[in-house]
Amino acid sequence: MAAWWLLGLAALGAVLSLHFTLAYYGRIRSPAVPPALCRQEERVCMTVLHTPYARLVGVPNALVGLGFYALTAATAGLALAGLLPLWLWELNVALAAGAVLLAPYLVWALAARLKIWCRL
């Protein structure tokens, strides 16, 4: 059951990461960002995509997210098939922990450094 949840969450994360990757590269216009995710009148989410904080490892964070969610989906798929190697599970957990630990820093950067408050 947990592997199905992991697969579903990976799919949701991949969709969001793909959306913001496309927005970052200008493949979709900023009005295409769903209002539930970003206040359109302020367009703060689009502003954030063009700061150094949106590319912490040299590529867009959303693109890194796509890779992470692909790995997570593969992990869930292998778990469902009963073929999950321990090293892959540990890698996925370590990357997820890193993402969770990085999130407060990015929230701080939005509020304190950029003076932007985006609902993301």
Q: Where are the alpha helices (DSSP H) in 1-120?
A: 2-24, 44-48, 61-81, 86-108
Residue with tokens 């890779």: 67
Residue 120 is assigned to a structural domain of this protein: no
Is residue 40's pLDDT more than 80? no
Domain extent, residue 53, equals 2-113
Domain-embedded: residue 29: yes
Query: Is 43 part of any domain?
Result: yes
Comparing 106 with 42, the larger pLDDT belongs to 106
Taking residues 10-27, what's their average pLDDT?
90
Amino acid at 16: L
- Give the per-residue pLDDT at 33: 55
CA distance 21 to 70: 14
pTM: 0.82
What's the rounded Cα separation, in Å, for the pair 49 and 61?
9
Tokens representing residue 18 in the block: 């793909």
Per the listing, tokens 């059951």 go with 1
Domain assignment present for residue 118? The answer is no
pLDDT at 30: 56
Both tokens assigned to 92: 């996925």
- Whether residue 65 lies inside any domain: the answer is yes
Are 77 and 7 a contacting pair, CB within 8 Å? yes
Total number of domains in the chain? 1
